[in-house]
Structure 1
Amino acid sequence: MNLTPVRDNERIQSLDIMRGIAIFGILLVNMKSFSGPDTPIRALSYEYFKEPYHVWTNVLLEFFVQGNFITMFSFLFGFGIILMAERAAEKGRNFAPVFLRRQFVLLIFGILHVLLFWYGDILIMYAAVGLLMLVFYRLPRNVLLITGMVLITAYSLFMSALTYSYWTSGTALAYKSAQNGLHLQEIQQSIEIYSEGSFVEIMQERMREWTDLNRYFLFFIAGLLPMFLFGAYAAKKRTFTNKGLWRLWLLTLILGPGSKILPVIFFPYKGEDWRYDTAMSWGYEFGGAMMSIFYICSIVLLYRGGKFKRLFNSFQYTGRMAFTNYLTQSIIATTIFYSYGFGLYGEYGPLTGVVIAAAIFTLQVLFSKWWLERFYMGPLEWIWRTLTYGKKQRLKREEASNG
């Protein structure tokens, strides 16, 4: 008996909805890097975009979006691993070989994504963390939950302590002017290359930025693994009562927004002392994880209550094609901003980026709905699953009557 991908009637709608929402949140964050040199801009000790509407757009993105949706997607990835393992067990098949092929294909897509389109790829990281889950996925669900909580708390405290030490040692202030100068040079270099350079020059710059971003690859893995574990725990528990969800909702309301409000409170101290950056570190790491669970609980409770059903259905379409939509976002955005497209890199601030992201995602909702009325899965999902299972998957819906 062969392993096959999940069928339409086996899908869990709420998971597709969450994937769709997560894809939009990820686009909102990524748009700042698509449209300009966000990494060195964020590293400056002052605000690069000084207009109040840009400043507050950044503040709101930091609170509501930054770090909240990459963690949600990690949760969903962990949930999916357990579903895949359960289906393999039901069919009497060995889970590991198929899963390893799946992760290898994901890794190849991630490498191509970095080489051809964008340095901020997350697929390589998911491929790596997914492999680690082979060590954890058989553990009892409560062990998964406790391990995840210990890891995310320890990791967040460690990162916050490093930031605090960097500022209180005097190092940050001593090199403040020099670091700002280096970051400004990097900003100008990126704008020049991405808006005017050749494809080869842009690819070389992408590789440099990817290398810089992933110098602490193992740290990033440690930050994402807990959410994979939480997703695996949820998949093994599977049934959550409304009462239990409301309790978790209240707890994560305190821990998530409660952590993420700290950098907003200390925003006036950015670049002046330890408060803002330390609060930002804690808010991004621990607050982002808790905020994503808060969002997940909110989505499930609203979905069960029947509210916003039409809106949720729209996200469901993009969620079912999350892989295609994620990579397509890079293709569309780089075409808008890079020299081989419209060359608008570095021209716009955060608020304009939010508007562009909303427009792109709206088009993706419409396209995903149109596509799924005609096909069983997205085009890149079809390639991924065909390579994973070693068998050409059914794509066109009319093929069902011919099978």
Structure 2
Amino acid sequence: MTTSTTALPSPVPPAERMVILDIIRGFALLGILLMNIEYFQRPLQALMLGFNSEQSGLDYAVAWLSFTFVQGKFYTLFSLLFGLGFIVFIDRAQQKDSAAQALFRRRLLVLLLFGVVHLLFIWGGDILHLYALVGFLLLFFINASVKRLMVWSVVLLLIPILLIWLGSLAVEAAMQVPEEAAKLQASFAADKEKLLQDIARGDVLYASGRYWQVVQWRMYEFQALYISPALLVFVPTILGTFLLGAALGRAGVFSNLEQHQPFFWRLMWLGYAIGLPLALIYGIYGTEVEVISPSIRNAALMTCSTLANIALCLAYMATLVNLYLHKVRFIGVLAPAGRMALSNYLLHSIVFTLLFYGYGLGLYGEFGRAVTTLMALTLYGFQLWFSQYWLQRYQLGPVEWLWRSLTYGKRPALKI
């Protein structure tokens, strides 16, 4: 027999949604697309090489703007929203006297399924599987106070910076010993040569490979990128940002925006004051940073990048809140796209892999960054219109409906 303590609650009705979170989510969706568009035409392992300096003219300018003001900031924003959503989800579920933790685990398992399908069969740059796996760690903080969430957030976000500095200092020390320096230089050269070979192989497969060849290559890329020491950076960064969002949610700053308007004004100005100079430093001096080449200089620049990502993420978020509180109407168009963020995110991958990859139209590598960015903006503009059109007729996006159905074990109403 099912009791009231184990029954799964019903999904949250659309009327109970926080519109500002949908607006921020819709904006984050744009930023993620503007970054991902590069890697629909570039193997994911090229991330290890950093900025693509082979571009010129308008392509270089567009790529640099994205590198400086978009890259890292919007995944951070999306991660923050995930943590904030965790608190909203758990608190609402607990109010209904339900098995909140069991429900959240089911929600994560379904998200993990979506992520694995996306990663293997659509596009290898998936972030959903990481969100789902790291999301299970949030259950250790289910009743944590705002202070505890903030402390853990800061500690976790500092771990990658500390690891980068320790690695760089160790390499610098070893370089002072001639024998060790020669070994390290040979090792770095071999690693880079292997990476360049992988990137060249990926270019060929994405440009002209058959579908199942590309699927197999995605599995190889996944192993190279994720089943590696990089997890020591990915996991603390994602969890730390989750907890930062959870702290904002538990503090209630989004439950009563008007009351917390001074907080958002301070957050906006402080975020820009810290984030813009650091982002510009990284944008100017960090275009030659390669993850595979540890050095004191690279560690300093990557520290600037990490801090800029957090500061500008918070500044962008606070700016949207302030515009919303001042009733600036145009930002409202972002909300429908934010309500359908998962469907729209997956559509990005479907559209651009079919457009660029060899098993689709085969346009891989045919366009520079300026043109592909224009393509991204065009698709996003279409999504703004279509999301509004869809939600005038249906309560949920198609993938959101499936997510809720599998999470709650029953099909919510779809049509309005």
TM-score normalised by structure 2 residue count = 0.88
More displaced, 319-328 or 358-367? Answer: 358-367
Note if contact 2:159-2:236 (Cα within 8 Å) is conserved in structure 1.
no
Choose from 242, 246, 255 the match for 2:265. Answer: 246
Note if contact 1:69-1:292 (Cα within 8 Å) is conserved in structure 2.
yes
Choose from 10, 14, 21 the match for 2:16. Answer: 10
Q: Which runs of 5+ in 2 are unaligned?
A: 176-180, 254-258
Deviation at 1:141, TM superposition (A): 1.1
Choose from 334, 353, 359 the match for 2:353. Answer: 334
Do residues 290 (structure 1) and 282 (structure 2) align? no
Change in Cα spacing, 1:327 to 1:182, as seen in structure 2 (3 Å) is same
Looking at structure 2, the residues matched to 359 and 367 of structure 1 have their Cα atoms a distance apart, in angstroms, of 12
Letter in 2 for 1:386: S
Choose from 198, 211, 218 the match for 1:199. Answer: 211
Do residues 222 (structure 1) and 228 (structure 2) align? no
**Alignment partner, residue 386 of structure 2:** 367
Note if contact 2:77-2:314 (Cα within 8 Å) is conserved in structure 1.
yes
Note if contact 2:282-2:305 (Cα within 8 Å) is conserved in structure 1.
no
Name the % identity. Answer: 33
Looking at structure 2, the residues matched to 225 and 45 of structure 1 have their Cα atoms a distance apart, in angstroms, of 23
Change in Cα spacing, 1:176 to 1:236, as seen in structure 2 (3 Å) is closer
For residues 222-254 of structure 1, the C-alpha deviation after alignment (integer angstroms, 9 at most, x for no partner) is 111111111111111113622222222232223
Change in Cα spacing, 1:206 to 1:387, as seen in structure 2 (3 Å) is same
Note if contact 1:75-1:228 (Cα within 8 Å) is conserved in structure 2.
yes
**Alignment partner, residue 250 of structure 2:** 236
Change in Cα spacing, 1:45 to 1:237, as seen in structure 2 (3 Å) is closer
More displaced, 67-76 or 175-184? Answer: 175-184
Looking at structure 2, the residues matched to 265 and 347 of structure 1 have their Cα atoms a distance apart, in angstroms, of 28
Looking at structure 1, the residues matched to 193 and 110 of structure 2 have their Cα atoms a distance apart, in angstroms, of 41
Note if contact 1:137-1:232 (Cα within 8 Å) is conserved in structure 2.
no
Looking at structure 1, the residues matched to 185 and 56 of structure 2 have their Cα atoms a distance apart, in angstroms, of 25
Looking at structure 2, the residues matched to 390 and 39 of structure 1 have their Cα atoms a distance apart, in angstroms, of 38
Do residues 257 (structure 1) and 276 (structure 2) align? yes
Looking at structure 1, the residues matched to 287 and 316 of structure 2 have their Cα atoms a distance apart, in angstroms, of 28
Do residues 186 (structure 1) and 198 (structure 2) align? yes
The root-mean-square deviation of aligned C-alpha atoms, in Å, is 2.4
Change in Cα spacing, 1:393 to 1:353, as seen in structure 2 (3 Å) is same
**Alignment partner, residue 389 of structure 1:** 408
Looking at structure 2, the residues matched to 232 and 10 of structure 1 have their Cα atoms a distance apart, in angstroms, of 19
Do residues 95 (structure 1) and 100 (structure 2) align? yes
Note if contact 2:84-2:246 (Cα within 8 Å) is conserved in structure 1.
yes
SS of corresponding position for 1:35: coil
Looking at structure 2, the residues matched to 165 and 275 of structure 1 have their Cα atoms a distance apart, in angstroms, of 10
Deviation at 1:186, TM superposition (A): 2.5
Deviation at 1:128, TM superposition (A): 1.2
For residues 259-285 of structure 1, the C-alpha deviation after alignment (integer angstroms, 9 at most, x for no partner) is 322222324765799466334422343
SS of corresponding position for 2:40: helix
Deviation at 1:65, TM superposition (A): 0.7
SS of corresponding position for 1:148: helix
Do residues 22 (structure 1) and 28 (structure 2) align? yes
For residues 81-121 of structure 1, the C-alpha deviation after alignment (integer angstroms, 9 at most, x for no partner) is 11111111221112011111101101111111111111111
Choose from 350, 354, 358 the match for 2:373. Answer: 354
Do residues 116 (structure 1) and 121 (structure 2) align? yes
Looking at structure 2, the residues matched to 76 and 317 of structure 1 have their Cα atoms a distance apart, in angstroms, of 16
Note if contact 2:59-2:369 (Cα within 8 Å) is conserved in structure 1.
yes
Letter in 1 for 2:251: K
Q: 1:139-178 maps to which residues of 2 (within 5 A)?
A: 139-163=144-168, 165-166=170-171, 169-170=174-175, 178=190
Note if contact 2:51-2:287 (Cα within 8 Å) is conserved in structure 1.
no
Do residues 136 (structure 1) and 148 (structure 2) align? no
For residues 101-149 of structure 1, the C-alpha deviation after alignment (integer angstroms, 9 at most, x for no partner) is 1011011111111111111111111111211000012111121112212
Note if contact 1:79-1:233 (Cα within 8 Å) is conserved in structure 2.
yes
Change in Cα spacing, 1:145 to 1:192, as seen in structure 2 (3 Å) is same
**Alignment partner, residue 323 of structure 2:** 302
Letter in 2 for 1:13: V
Change in Cα spacing, 1:225 to 1:279, as seen in structure 2 (3 Å) is same
**Alignment partner, residue 178 of structure 2:** none
Note if contact 1:318-1:364 (Cα within 8 Å) is conserved in structure 2.
yes
Note if contact 1:163-1:281 (Cα within 8 Å) is conserved in structure 2.
no
Choose from 22, 39, 60 the match for 1:33. Answer: 39
Change in Cα spacing, 1:267 to 1:234, as seen in structure 2 (3 Å) is closer
Note if contact 1:317-1:369 (Cα within 8 Å) is conserved in structure 2.
yes
Note if contact 1:37-1:346 (Cα within 8 Å) is conserved in structure 2.
no
Q: 1:315-334 maps to which residues of 2 (within 5 A)?
A: 315-334=334-353
Letter in 2 for 1:37: P
